[in-house]
Every structure is written in structure tokens, then in C-alpha cells.
Homo-oligomer: A and B are copies of this chain.
Amino acid sequence: MFYRCRCPAHSQMACSNIRYGAGVTKEIGMDLQNMGARNVCLMTDRTLSQLPPVGVVLDSLTKHGVEYKIYEDVRVEPTDKSFKAAIDFAKQGHFDVYVAVGGGSVIDTCKAANLYASHPEAEFLDFVNAPIGKGKPITASLKPLIAVPTTAGTGSETTGVAIFDFENLKAKTGIANRALKPTLGMVDPLHTLHMPSRVAANSGFDVLCHALESFTALPYNLRSPCPSNPINRPAYQGSNPISDVWARHALKIVAKYLKRAVRDAGDVEARSSMHLASVFAGIGFGNAGVHLCHGMSYPIAGNVKTHRARGYNVEHPIVPHGLSVVLTSPAVFAFTANMCPERHLEAAQILGTDVSNIKKDDAGRVLADTLRSILYDLEVEDGLFAIGYTKEDIPSLVKGTIPQERVTKLSPRAHTEEDLTALFAASMKLY
């Protein structure tokens, strides 16, 4: 599974915007030169700015004489405020190409900076997803953006989505538009060797849920309302035969490599395989969408009180995105299974459970048990309770989920506020 790339020209892959290979980033300066870049904005965060992935990029820019300015104030789990700071930097810089080196937080922040610098007259809420924002169409051309992911999770290098915490609402929301999709993703497995073990686990859970949610999302031809013009097609359009290919394939890699990637940062085969799995799952969910685990994760992350995430070098309390997503997954898939039991059973089977004698009615229980067992083995916190929530918090968690209709409406099973309450309650303890 590990492909060592001998040169930058060897490795750009299907689906056009992904280039993959160990060492592929080291010639990024040549790409920027080919693009005629004269004034590059390099975005990263303060931890990464001291690490080899950023060093490799800077060396290459210098070697090829590419002028750049660096912005290293990206917030891990960004907010509207941190987005706006990056946007101000971008507006002042009049950049012609953007380069984002980091995890989803960095890449998403860079997408937003590029978007608003290209629409200097726009209000911040103009492009934010409705109903929180106005969800306006993007009319101007954005500048090229090269994404260099350093975690194996978000798949942000493949998608047109940028997520942030809207601090007033204590919930995550985002901007979703194909125009945000990076021009090029440089997926260099050497970069993931720098992830702490818990970052590998949490970003791996994001991959797992991207694959499971897109695989079980409402099929694209059952989605409603039905837009009368293709231009109003949403970014997330439901499961379909192409996203299914990516979801199944990503799940197989997660089943084989996630535990190894978490246990041993030096397991190059496992870490590079998970890096590709995040790309594969990203291509799938970036098209099909995600549903309840992601929709419910936004208030779980947004309402964080004092939880200090193990292995993260940040000064504020956070629930890492992948953790906030995966903690509700056993409850969610137990809830959705009856709408497409074959897919839930197939997912459980890919994840290692023998389903040969399981009845369809038990599909939800079996997939939930499979997930609990994976989480237990990976020493994940025992439910929402373990990260600081109690039953008293459920109403505000439900309230924070309601505006996430952009994703929750892709759940294969319709749901009420009572259902969401029950799902949060069932996620308080896992084991």
C-alpha cells in the first residue's frame, strides 16, 4: 500500500486533484512556478510551523524563488473569529495562490480566506450555510489553492467544505460549495508520521464516520426537495454508485490499518494507508454527504466546557472533531439501520464482524457493537459523560443540532427532536 514516489511528475492520480506519494511535497515550488505564482499565502498552525511538513514546503519555495507570506495563526477547530482573522490577512496580502499545510482546520481556514478575499464586498454570513447564514452562490473566481494535508482524517483536500465553530450559537457550521475545492491536494504519507497517537486515532474516526455516513446516507434519488435547476444542486447529494465505491474502499482500509496506525507512529504502511483512506472517504462523502454523527458532533464540539484533549498541543478546551463525531456512532447506526439493513450489515462485515447468521432486524445492534468494540480497543473516552457532558446538557445539544439540517436531512431515517434527545442520551456511556 505504500508507494514511494521517485519524482513529482509520477504521481497525480485519478479524480484529477490528488497527487500522492512519499516526498511529493518537496517539489511544490516547481508547481507554483509553473502556475506563475508571484505572491503566495502559506497558511499553517503554530505547532506545524515547527515541523518537517512546513519545512519541506518552505525549502521548496525558496529553492524555486517563489515569494510568499506565512500565516501561522490558524486555530485548531477554527471559529468565525479565527476565520475572520485569516480572511483579513488574505485581503491585505492580495495573494495569487494559496497553500495550506495542515489538518482540516488549516485547509478549511485557507478555503475561507481565499473565498472572502475573492469577494471583498461580501458579508461573512453571505456564504455560510443556511439557515445560519445566507448560503449565497459563489460568483467570483477563487485563486488556486494547494492543500497539503498532515492528518489522515478530514479529506478537506478533496472537498468544497469549510467548517468552523460559530461562537454565538455554540455550534459548528460551515461553507459548502464546489468552488472551494482545492485545485490540487498533495498527499504525502511522510507527513502523517508526525501525528501524535491520539491525533491519528481521532482523525481515523473521522475517516470511519465519513465512510459509514456516506455509505448509509439517503440515496441521491430519494432526496427532496427536488431543485428545478441543476445549478441549485447541493454539495451533498446523497449516496450514489460512485460514492459507494469510495466508502466501501475506505472502510476496508480503516478495518485493516486504523489500529496499527494509532499504536505505532513508525508503521509507515499503516499510516500511509490511512492517509489514502482519508482521501478516498473524502471523495465519497464530499459528494454523497454525511448525516447524523456529523450533525450531532457540531454542538458536542461547540459546547465544550473543560475537556482537554489528550495529545493536542492547544491552549483552549476542545473536543477534537473525530472524537465528537464517533462518540454518537453506535447510537446513530442502531437508529438508522432499519432503513437500509443490508448496508449496515455490510459495513459491520467489512469492519470484521461475522454477519453470516445475522438477521436484518439485528443489523443496527451488530454494527453498533462492532463500533463499540473498535472504540474500546482504541481506548476512547467512555461516551459524552467522559468528556464532560451530563443529561442536563442534552437540550442544548439538541438545540445545536437543529440548525445542522444541511447534513442531518441526509439521514436515511427521518427524526424528531425526541429522537435526537434519545440519541444523545444513548451516547452518554458506550461500554
Contacts and interface: CB of A to CB of B under 8 A. Distances in A.
Contact of A226 (B10, B13, B14, B31): B10
Contacts of A220: 3, 10-11
Given A242-B13, A280-B245, A228 B18 contact: no
Interface in A241-282: 241-243, 245-246, 249, 276, 279-280
B14 A223 contact: no
Contacts of A178: 16
Stoichiometry, as copies per complex, reads: 2
A1 interface: yes
Nearest to A272: B241
A284 interface: yes
B233 A288 contact: no
A358 interface: no
A11 B207 CA distance: 24
Question: In the complex, which range does the number of interface residues on chain A fall in?
Answer: 35 or more
Interface in A226-248: 226-233, 237-238, 240-243, 245-246
Given A27-B230, A230-B31, A13 B221 contact: no
Contacts of A221: 3-6, 10-11, 21
Interface in A278-327: 279-280, 283-284, 286-288
Contacts of A18: 242
Given A6-B226, A226-B6, A14 B243 contact: yes
Nearest to A3: B221
A356 interface: no
A13 B232 contact: no
Nearest to A288: B14
A223 B233 CA distance: 40
A13 B227 contact: no
Interface string A332-368: 0000000000000000000000000000000000000
Contacts of A242: 13-15, 18, 20, 279-280
